[in-house]
Amino acid sequence: MSGTATVIAVGYAGLAALSLVLAVAVWRSTRSRRAVDAARLAKRENASLAAVVAILVALLLGTIFLVPYGESAPAGSQRVSVTGFQFAWLIEPQVVKANVPVEFELTSSDVSHAFAVYDEDGVLLTQVQVVPGRTQKLVYTFEEPGTYDVLCLEFCGFAHDVMRGTIEVRA
């Protein structure tokens, strides 16, 4: 699991557990059947709105600068041309150096594909969509030498799941 995936897993599991605890608390509350001040609860809805908006704004500010858009390859980066077609990847060159940014230039000659790179442990490192008729760029730096698997993550036909490629990363 990647670092970001671990953050998602921990965050979601915590919130899901909290939700279930709240659900049990609400269920149990119906046994006490005590009177509630509905007007006051309705007014507090404004406070709940403010809390939700504050959380969302914080999440927005914390993540919006991490979008993958507009990354440009620095000078000295390696260039790799990738063409997707039913059901293979044409990757040229297939061998790159570790710790030097790679700028992938991706195209498709038929339908939509998605270029996804996995390391030898099966961790999904990066992915991007490849739409026919367009050129998609992706900048990624491999840190470790090894053989990396390329899968297609956009459904592209009956042999979609066997559409594979590899990238060799050397020190």
Partner 1 sequence: MNAPPADWGRDRARVWALRYLLASTAIFVASGALGMLLRSSQADLGRLDPNAYFAVMTAHGLGAFVGWAAFACMGISWWVLASVGFPLRRFGAAMAQAAFWLMLLGVAGILVTTLLMDFAASWVFLYPLPFHSAGEWGDAATGIFAASVLLAGLSIVTWCAGIVHTVLGPGLHAVRPTIGNRLGLALGLGYLAPRRFATNPTPVPYAVIPLAVIGIDMIVATLPFAVLLVIMIVQSASPGVSVDPLLAKNILWFFGHPVVYLLLFPAVAVYYLLIPRYAKRPLVAGNVVALAWVVAVFVNVMIWAHHIYLDYPSDSSQAVINTLMQPLTYAITIPSALSIYSLVFTVWRSDFQWTAASTSLFLGLVGWLLAGLSGVVNATIAFDEVVHNTLWIVGHFHHMALLNIGLAIFGATYAFLPELTGKALWSERLGLWHVWLTFVAGTAAFALWLVQGLEGAPRRFAVLPERYDTLTQAAVPLFAVVALAQLLFVWNLVQTLRGKGGRAAVAEPGAVVEGATG
The verdict on 128 binding partner 1 (CB under 8 A) reads: yes
Structure tokens at 112: 């939509």
Q: Please, what is the minimum distance in Å from the beta carbon of residue 95 to partner 1?
A: 23
Tell which one of 78, 83, 94, 127 touches partner 1 (CB under 8 A).
127
Residues in binding contact with partner 1, number by CB under 8 A: 75
The verdict on 49 binding partner 1 (CB under 8 A) reads: yes
CB atoms within 10 A of CB 12: 10
Structure tokens at 60: 């927005």
3-state secondary structure string across the chain: CCHHHHHHHHHHHHHHHHHHHHHHHHHHHHHHCCCCCHHHHHHHHHHHHHHHHHHHHHHHHHHHHHCCCCCCCCCCCEEEEEEEECCEEEEECCEEECCCCEEEEEEECCCCEEEEEECCCCCEEEEEEECCCCCEEEEECCCCCEEEEEEECCCCCCCHHHCEEEEEEEC
Q: 102, 142 in Cβ contact below 8 A?
A: yes
The verdict on 27 binding partner 1 (CB under 8 A) reads: yes
Instruction: Provide the annotated active-site residues.
Output: 85, 87
For partner 1, the closer CB: 97 or 105: 105
Considering only the stretches 8-16, 74-82, 93-101, 140-148, report the one whose residues sit in contact with partner 1 under the rule CB under 8 A. Answer: 8-16
Tell which one of 151, 165, 167, 169 touches partner 1 (CB under 8 A).
151
For partner 1, the closer CB: 76 or 122: 122
Tell which one of 93, 144, 155, 170 touches partner 1 (CB under 8 A).
155
Tell which one of 77, 78, 86, 141 touches partner 1 (CB under 8 A).
86
For partner 1, the closer CB: 17 or 100: 17
Tell which one of 78, 124, 139, 146 touches partner 1 (CB under 8 A).
124
